[in-house]
């Protein structure tokens, strides 16, 4: 059996190669792909050559073993149909629709423990969003939004929009988002943001203060000068992939607030001012990455619990609204070029098989 597989062969170089696929081993499945989702975060870093070639691709997934040394395969959201099973696998797996955390390929073999069965009422295109929904769930868990808090989200790509949708379900005081592309700003407000700002035209700090309900008449007025200064966010997320946005997220965060950094900058560095206000404000920077559960949650949360939560949330999200392009796998180079050169046009790009 042969497959069409997407290879990263150099900075801004993508090739679709014919590869040979072996028969499934005793505990494996053979899968024919229907659709796969391109990550406009990690995959664009790889496409642009902004990733350390020595770093491990993903130490938690066997299908992504190895490093980012060219040429390499990548991708983590392929949905397809099981066409054959190994000797030790229940034959009932045949013809199941599954999601695999596997690189982009039209045919592949994978361990039975490395796939998820897609529920009957979830389309293959919607199921391809599951890894990013799981990332959004992880971001919300790490940020721990509280009732009445002011929250800001910088970056409204797919992960940013899904995180916004989950945050919009919480009883927040305000939810302000930031993105420079009009299509994403419109989607952000449709997904529950109170307002989505263009960073080139609006000040997030001012918007956060304006979006906060005023004090009730007769409420205590003994607030400190710090509290009377422009009201900032209690919680901010940096999900834009732009290192400069991290400084803006810190600036938008108030005394004792949290900044969750979900972006992966690769080899790019973030220059932070960390001025006097930061020095005195006790702001906490929190790293968030879906490959692990936060240490403070591991007594109660497992990867399986988080994944089950992501499936539940996925069924309530209008992911079809995020799909802007469906491109045949043989034209994969065009898909990456689109995301790289015309991000104002694209949100979620799907490869079809």
Predicted confidence (pLDDT) per residue in 249-306, tens digit: 999 999 999 999 999 998 888 889 888 888 899 999 999 999 999 999 999 999 999 9
* Pairwise CA distance, residues 220 & 215, whole Å: 9
Q: How far apart are CA 96 and CA 80, in angstroms?
A: 8
Q: Average pLDDT in the 186-190 region?
A: 98
Same domain flag for 164 and 93: no
Do both 201 and 118 map to the same domain? no
pLDDT at 312: 97
In a domain, 61, yes or no: yes
Give me the pLDDT at residue 229, please: 53
326 and 203 assigned to the same domain:
no
pLDDT of 267: 87
Question: Would you say residue 310 lies in a domain?
Answer: no
pLDDT tens, residue by residue, 329-351: 999 999 999 999 999 999 999 99
| The pLDDT value given to residue 225 | 43
Q: Check pLDDT > 80 for residue 47.
A: yes
Paired with 20 in beta bridges are 2
Q: Is the confidence at residue 130, as pLDDT, over 70?
A: yes
Whole-number pLDDT of residue 65 = 60
Same domain for 136 and 98, yes or no, is no
Nearest to 254 by CA among 205, 216, 218, 292: 205
Is residue 309 included in any domain, yes or no?
no
pLDDT reported for residue 224:
46
- CATH code at 28? 3.90.180.10
Residues 6+ apart with CB under 8 A from 202: none
Per-residue pLDDT at 221: 46
What is residue 51's predicted lDDT score, i.e. its pLDDT?
A: 84
**Is the domain of 207 the same as that of 109?**
no
The pLDDT value given to residue 277: 87
- pLDDT above 70 for 199: yes
- Based on the domain organization, do 56 and 152 belong to the same domain? no
Q: Which pLDDT band holds residue 222 (cuts at 50, 70, 90)? A: very low
Looking at residue 333, the DSSP 8-state letter turns out to be H
Residue 66 is predicted with a pLDDT of 66
- Rounded mean pLDDT, 63-79: 85
Please tell me the number of Cα atoms within 13 Å of 216 on its side-chain side.
3
Query: Has residue 307 been placed in a domain?
Result: no
Domain check: are 114 and 137 in the same one? no
27 lies in some domain: yes
pLDDT exceeds cutoff 50 at 159: yes
Give the integer Cα–Cα distance in Å for 135 and 288: 9
Rg (CA), the chain: 21
Residue 184 lies in a domain: yes
**Average pLDDT score over the chain:** 92
Cα separation, 294 vs 311, in Å, equals 20
Do 107 and 175 lie in one domain? The reply is: no
**What is the residue range of 331's domain?**
2-129+317-352
CATH number for the domain harbouring residue 149: 3.40.50.720
pLDDT of residue 166: 98
Q: What is the mean pLDDT of residues 240-256?
A: 95
Residue 311: inside a domain: no
Q: pLDDT tens for residues 299-311?
A: 999 999 999 999 9
Same domain, 142 and 165: yes
Residues 101 and 141 in one domain: no
- Residue 64 pLDDT level (bands cut at 50, 70, 90): low
Tell me if 119 is assigned to some domain.
Answer: yes
Q: How many domains does the chain have?
A: 2
Domain co-membership, 120 together with 34: yes
Is it the case that residue 233 has pLDDT exceeding 80? yes
The answer to whether residues 256 and 325 belong to one domain is no
Count of CB atoms situated within 10 Å of the CB of 146: 13
């Amino acid at each position: 059996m042969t497959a069409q597989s997407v290879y990263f062969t150099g900075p801004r170089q993508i090739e679709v190669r014919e590869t040979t696929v072996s028969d499934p081993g005793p505990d494996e499945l053979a899968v024919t792909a229907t659709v796969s989702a391109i990550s406009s975060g990690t995959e664009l870093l790889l496409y642009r050559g902004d990733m350390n070639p020595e770093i491990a691709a993903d130490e938690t997934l066997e299908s992504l073993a190895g490093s980012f040394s060219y040429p390499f395969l990548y991708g983590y959201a392929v949905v397809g149909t099981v066409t054959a099973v190994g000797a030790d696998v229940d034959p009932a797996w045949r013809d199941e629709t599954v999601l695999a955390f596997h690189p982009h390929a039209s045919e592949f073999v994978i361990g039975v423990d490395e796939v998820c069965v897609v529920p009957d009422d979830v389309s293959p295109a919607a199921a391809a969003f599951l890894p990013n929904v799981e990332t959004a769930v992880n971001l919300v868990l790490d940020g721990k939004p509280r009732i009445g808090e002011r929250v800001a989200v910088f970056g409204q790509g797919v992960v940013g929009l899904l995180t916004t949708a989950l945050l919009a379900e919480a009883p927040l005081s305000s939810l302000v988002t930031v993105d420079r592309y009009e299509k994403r700003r419109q989607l952000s407000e449709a997904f529950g943001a109170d307002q989505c700002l263009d960073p080139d035209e609006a000040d997030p700090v001012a918007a956060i203060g304006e979006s906060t309900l005023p004090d009730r008449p007769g409420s205590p007025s003994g607030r400190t000068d710090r509290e009377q200064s422009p009201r900032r966010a209690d919680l901010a997320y940096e999900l834009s992939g732009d290192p400069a946005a991290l400084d803006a997220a810190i600036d938008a965060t108030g005394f004792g607030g949290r900044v969750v950094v979900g972006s992966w900058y690769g080899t790019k560095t973030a220059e932070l001012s960390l001025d006097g206000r930061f020095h005195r404000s006790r702001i906490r920077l929190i790293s968030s990455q879906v490959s692990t559960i936060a240490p403070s949650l591991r007594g109660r949360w497992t990867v399986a619990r988080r994944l089950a939560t992501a499936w539940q949330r996925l069924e309530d999200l209008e992911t079809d609204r995020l799909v802007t392009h469906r491109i045949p796998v043989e034209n994969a180079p065009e898909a990456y070029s689109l995301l790289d050169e015309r991000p104002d046009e694209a949100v979620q790009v799907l490869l079809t098989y």
